[in-house]
Amino acid sequence: MFSIVASTTRAWIAAAALLMASTWQPLHAAEPIRIGLSVALTGGVAANGKQVLLAMQVWRDDVNANGGLLGRPVELVFYDDQSNPAVIPGIYTKLIEVDKVDLTVGPYATNMIVPAILTVKQHNYLTIGFFGVAANREIHYQRYFSMLPAGPDPMIAFSQGFFELALGQNPRPQTVAISGADAEFSKVSTQGARINAQKAGLKIVYDKSYPPNTSDFGPVIRAIQSTNPDIVYNASYPPDTVGMIRAAHEVDLKTRMFGGNMVGLLATVFKTQLGPLLNGIVSTADTFIPGPHFDFPGVKEVMQKYQARAAREGVDPLGYNYVPYSYAGMQMLAEAVNAIKSLDQSRLADHMHTHTFRTVAGEVAFGPDGEWAKPRLLVSQFQNVVGNDLDQFRDFKKQVIIGPAQYKSGNFIYPYEAAKH
């Protein structure tokens, strides 16, 4: 009899298990929501692109641990764009037409974002560009959103603080040299510098671009030096940021102020490479500093998760600028999806245009062309950097915030020569 009861019990358990399997679907058995993107994992801007991707992966793991989106797990589908704008249309076409992703985000960097906007527009997809300067200024695509705190006019934002700072010095500068690569990001930034220089009444004595693949910046610095400018503004991606600063020291550039929208200054690897060569450089590219002014709900936890993974994966160990905004961009997308309970591209865009989001990067609302309604850029100067060790860059004691006033942590050292040593 015992064998009959045991057999019956086993049969009942098996039947119950089968019934449960047919009526209860765990999260990870559901069809995933696939979010596609292109990101630079090799090439000139890879040091920053890797931070963007890792921050998104931290977000993906967080959202999946909390039930996913619409009861479905989230999957990131990404391709390395090699920091090359030419491959972007093909990548986003593949993501949408072949991979059949539900949503798109990215890419990272102005040069890559512009061709991406054109491609997603053809498919009526929404996208969030990461750290693109005025990328939508000519396209005006209503389903594009910028994850960059430059405000409604980013073209002038990244040089405005530079020129305002210069005009407050004694003696007041009279002339300026403007330089940048012959590529989308630098063109936009240098055009803004021209506008701000003209508003300031400064005479532009040098205004030339160099090829994006330039490796020897000595001739560029010598040409700038020959015009004897009072201040020098440069807009550059990481390779030319490093090249321009090294060349300035080799040539012994004589000017009262040197810096600009130099993106290479955002990556720890380039800070440690340059070390004391950074002293005196003014950066207008910073968007985030760890501290009370930027202590938004959840940001410490995100940074801790990122930094723990970055140490294992060989990515930028600090991630101060890129990580909060990359995570926050995904937060906003998720909030919009949950709010409308749909993946409809049009309704998502409408929601994002009409709502304010509270994120780990602070409060975000969008204005025209998907730019931030309010700017929140920083101006900083490297001071008293010694050696090439990493720890000196963990806080901003060596990279002093000199503007705007509400974020100021130290005084501007002027002229450049006085801060170099």
User: Hey, what domains does the chain have and what are their CATH numbers?
Assistant: 30-148+294-370 (3.40.50.2300), 154-286+383-420 (3.40.50.2300)
**By three-state DSSP, how is residue 302 classified?**
helix
Residue 363 has pLDDT above 70, yes or no: yes
% pLDDT > 70, the chain? 93
Q: Exposed (0-12), middle (13-18) or buried (19+): which is 404, by Cβ within 10 Å?
A: middle
CB 134 within 8 A of CB 113: no
CB 51 within 8 A of CB 309: no
Tens digit of each residue's pLDDT (9 = 90 or more) over 34-89 = 999 999 999 999 999 999 999 999 999 999 999 999 999 999 999 999 999 999 99
pLDDT given for residue 394 in this prediction: 93
CA-CA distance, 91 to 261, in Å (whole number)?
28
Residue 373 has pLDDT above 50, yes or no: yes
Using pLDDT thresholds of 50, 70 and 90, give the confidence band for residue 4.
very low
**By three-state DSSP, how is residue 74 classified?**
strand
CA-CA distance, 383 to 226, in Å (whole number)?
27
> What is the arithmetic mean of pLDDT over 257-279?
97
Angle made by CA atoms 295, 297, 299, in degrees to the nearest 5: 65
Residue 8 has pLDDT above 90, yes or no: no
Comparing 10 with 328, which gets the higher pLDDT? 328
**What is the identity of the amino acid at 179?**
S
**What is the identity of the amino acid at 241?**
T
Please provide the average confidence, as pLDDT, over all residues in the chain. Answer: 93
> What is the arithmetic mean of pLDDT over 10-24?
39
Residue 148 has pLDDT above 90, yes or no: yes
pLDDT given for residue 68 in this prediction: 97
Written as six digits, the tokens of 389 are: 């060790």
**Residue among 324, 311, 314, 242 nearest 275 (CA):** 242
Q: Exposed (0-12), middle (13-18) or buried (19+): which is 14, by Cβ within 10 Å?
A: exposed
DSSP 8-state secondary structure symbol assigned to residue 411:
P
**By three-state DSSP, how is residue 318 classified?**
coil
pLDDT given for residue 421 in this prediction: 74
- Report how far apart, in Å, the C-alpha atoms of 144 and of each of 116, 303, 371 are: 10, 26, 9
CB 98 within 8 A of CB 197: no
DSSP 8-state secondary structure symbol assigned to residue 316:
-
Tens digit of each residue's pLDDT (9 = 90 or more) over 182-230 = 999 999 999 999 999 999 999 999 999 999 999 999 999 999 999 999 9
Using pLDDT thresholds of 50, 70 and 90, give the confidence band for residue 29.
low
Written as six digits, the tokens of 79 are: 């391709």
